[in-house]
Amino acid sequence: MTYTMRDPTAEASPLMRERLPPPATLANRTIGLFSISKERSSEFLDEIERQFASTGATLLRFEKPTHTKPAPESLIADIIGQCDVVVEGLAD
Amino acid sequence: MLSSRRHTATDYFAAQEYLHSRGWTDGLPVMPPTEAAVAAMLEYALLPADHLIGVESVRARAISAEKLAINAVMAGCLPSHFPIVVTAFTAMLQEPYLLHGATASTGGNAVLIIINGPVLQELGIDSTFNVLGASDRATAPIGRAIRLVLRNLMDVRPGQVDRSTLGHPGKISFCFGEDETNTSWTPLAQQRGVPEHASAVTVMAAGSPRQLMNEWTTQPEEILDTFVAEIKTNMRHYSIWPGNYAIVVPPQLRTHFESAGWSKSDIADYVFENARIYRRDWADCGKGAVVRHKGDQQYAALPDADHLMVVAAGGPAGGFGAVIPPWLGHKSRAVTMAVGACVDCE
């Protein structure tokens, strides 16, 4: 007996976008340090900030209101508008 | 009229391999989702195939009745089970449940589904022996249907959206009904605002059940001290954050509460007052590093007494009970919804 079955998936086709190439140098660039607001993520990003201090880049800090929900679109727009590179992190 | 893509298999076994090989099952055999079987689900629930159940907000994914029905067929549901599946997933799509966060988290939790109302008898749901371990024809496939829906419609597969470090066995299916027959207690759904005699579903992002035993007292306070100790253990060993806890109380322990005139609200008040730990208690179980200067800060398991869900269920003999802890405190909240309720209707 042949079975004709219906597709159980969402049948969605996610849009895949190419990642931008990394800049050749970080000098005079703006780096966003984006905390996802898990406990001690600021501590982690503080260390990243120290390590980036000698690059000549401008460092900006951003933070999600809570790690359990996606960042508000306005926050994402801020990051896109101001930064050339983003480091997003981290947790626990 | 169904709109989902068709797939063909030459026989029953080929159908199993076809579905398994695409990652569309949980590893157990499934019922092939034929057009007739899917249509029967929709017809029973009086839902058109393109009826919009809801939209998962993080991934902007619209969920249709047809897609739920396909997965319910695969899980082994009967058409009469389908309204429960629809209600459970509709409840999960409500904002307080935090569907994406709860299902993607490394802190593996399962969707606990608790059923109340006349539908318990209509579906032959047995809320007594082995209640937490799939005790009847309805609860196992209903819980499984929700898991397959998450897999197939939300990509909540291990290693994809599902980032659980461990998960727990309830992720296969974690569904049971409250025993409304052998108790004088108010049913859970009624306590949570559903009218009397309406069938309802409560969903909760839940950790694994923690079984306890106290057969050596008849005093309600002493029995509850055992439940409280288990809750406090969870707070020490897993998560300190307050949220919904469910406790399951079988008949042998229930008798002592009911004889003493204790209602579910009395129980919730006692647990709310007593299920508290200090942050310094973490130092006793290897987590001293995160006590820091906050050692004297006290944490309650429940934001308020209403966050405790007391459920009557279990076999007649044995002084056992169970605590079912939340995934991550109040980040996800339990949601109760009447079967057949329209979320957006005025």
From the list B224, B216, B85, the residue with the least C-alpha distance to B148 is: B85
Domains in chain A: boundaries: 30-89
- On whether the CB atoms of residues A15 and A60 are closer than 8 A, the answer is no
Rounded (5°) CA angle B282-B235-B217: 110
> Residue B250 has which token pair?
């079988």
In the prediction, which pLDDT does B58 show? 86
In the prediction, which pLDDT does B134 show? 83
pLDDT under 50: residue ranges of chain B: none
In the prediction, which pLDDT does A70 show? 83
β-strand pairing of B6-9 with A3-6? antiparallel
Rounded (5°) CA angle B160-B334-B128: 100
Q: Report the C-alpha gap between B125 and B187 in whole angstroms.
A: 15
In the prediction, which pLDDT does A66 show? 85
Chain A residues within an 8 Å CB radius of B152: 8-10
Domains in chain B: boundaries: 11-207+332-341, 208-325
Q: Minimal Cα–Cα distance from A69 to chain B, Å?
A: 7
Interface mutation target, options A1, A2, A4, A6, chain B, most CBs of B under 10 Å: A6
Chain A residues within an 8 Å CB radius of B61: 10, 12
pLDDT under 70: residue ranges of chain A: 91-92
In the prediction, which pLDDT does A91 show? 66
Instruction: Please give the full DSSP string across B295-318, using - where no structure is assigned.
Output: TT-EEESSSSGGGEEEEE-S-SS-
In the prediction, which pLDDT does B345 show? 62
In the prediction, which pLDDT does A33 show? 95
Chain B residues within an 8 Å CB radius of A10: 61, 67, 152-155
**DSSP 8-class letter at B192:** T
**B259 CA to centre of own chain:** 29
